[in-house]
């Protein structure tokens, strides 16, 4: 990559940040979240980071914690920036921040057909912890969600 990757916490979320989050989400998911959807997610315990390549936002991670548990609400990398470690860097940043705030368990749900994300999470030490049958519905048949859990003191460095 020509420019170094910069990870910036979205705090507080201004209009440009909300647009960047929505734009990245729309390029990654069939059912995009709008800027106002992201605005509504910034409740206590919510934290987000954007990854920038130069002036361009190329990735996002959004997490929310309650006491010592947290959840990855969404994670997305722009198609042109994939497979260069952006998601891994974002997740490691969020994990370090959550661990520093006393979070012990980090949870997420991922479609069982999302092999890229499953490989990413497995590489970071997430372990299967359950399944929600037919959780994702879209164009094709419903797809199960796999529930993954990471014990933060077991995350690879
Ligand atoms: C999943 C996603 C976030 C990965 O982002 P990324 O920046 O490309 O991932 P990274 O480059 O950090 O990949 C880290 C590791 O994850 C795994 N991985 C990532 N993409 C992969 C792919 N397409 N196929 C197989 N493994 C993959 C690999 O183990 C990779 O390490 P390696 O490149 O050294 O082999 C990205 O593909 C994306 O935005 N997808 C659409 C949205 C989405 O599915 N979000 C997650 C929902 S739970």
- By most ligand atoms within 8 Å of CB, the mutation choice from 87, 126, 145 for ligand 1 is 87
Contacts (Cβ under 8 Å, ≥6 apart) of 72: 61, 62, 63, 91, 94, 106, 107, 108
Query: Which are the catalytic amino acids?
Result: 109, 121
pLDDT at residue 157, rounded to an integer: 58
> Which pLDDT does position 156 carry in this prediction?
60
Listed in sequence order, the DSSP H helices in the chain are 15-26, 35-41, 86-100, 115-123
Query: Up-side HSE of residue 127: CA atoms within 13 Å toward CB?
Result: 8
CA distance 45 to 98: 10
Residue given tokens 């980090």 in the structure block: 106
Query: Mean pLDDT over residues 93-105, rounded?
Result: 97
Span between the terminal Cα atoms of the chain, in Å: 23
- Give me the mean pLDDT over the 1-30 stretch: 93
Distance in angstroms (rounded) separating the CA atoms of residues 140 and 26: 19
Q: Is the link from the previous residue into 103 a cis peptide, with omega within 30 of 0?
A: no
How much distance in Å is there from the Cα of 74 to the middle of ligand 1? 13
| Rounded distance from Cα 92 to ligand 1 centre (Å) | 14
pTM of the entire structure?
A: 0.96
What confidence tier does 3 reach under pLDDT thresholds 50, 70, 90? confident
Q: What is the pLDDT of residues 44-93, one digit of tens each?
A: 999 999 999 999 999 999 999 999 999 999 999 999 999 999 999 999 99
pLDDT digits (tens, 9 = 90+) for 126-156: 999 999 999 998 888 999 999 999 999 765 6
Which residue has 């959004």 as its token pair?
Answer: 62
Residue 118 has pLDDT above 50, yes or no: yes
Distance (Å) from CA 84 to ligand 1 centroid = 9
Task: State residue 21's pLDDT score.
Answer: 98
**Minimal-distance CA residue to ligand 1 atom 1:** 117
* Model pLDDT, residue 1: 47
CA 75 to chain centre: 2
Pocket of ligand 1 (CB under 6 A): 28, 75-77, 82-88, 110, 114-117, 119-120, 123
Distances (CA, A) of 142 to 28, 54, 134: 19, 39, 5
Task: Please name each of the domains of the chain with its CATH number.
Answer: 5-154 (3.40.630.30)
């Amino acid at each position: 990559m020509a420019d170094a990757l910069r990870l910036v916490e979205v705090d507080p979320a201004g209009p440009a940040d909300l647009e960047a989050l929505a734009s990245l989400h729309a390029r990654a998911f069939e059912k995009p979240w709008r800027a106002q959807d992201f605005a509504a997610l910034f409740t206590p315990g919510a934290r987000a980071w954007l990854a920038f390549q130069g002036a361009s936002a190329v990735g996002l991670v959004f997490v929310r914690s309650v006491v010592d548990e947290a959840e990855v609400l969404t994670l997305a990398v722009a198609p042109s920036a994939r497979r260069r470690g952006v998601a891994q860097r974002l997740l490691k940043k969020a994990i370090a921040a959550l661990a520093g705030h006393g979070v012990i368990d980090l949870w997420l749900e991922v479609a069982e057909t999302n092999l890229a994300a499953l490989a990413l999470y497995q590489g970071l030490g997430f372990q299967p912890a359950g399944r929600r049958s037919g959780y994702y519905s879209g164009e094709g048949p419903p797809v199960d969600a796999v529930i993954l859990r990471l014990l933060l003191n077991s995350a690879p460095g």
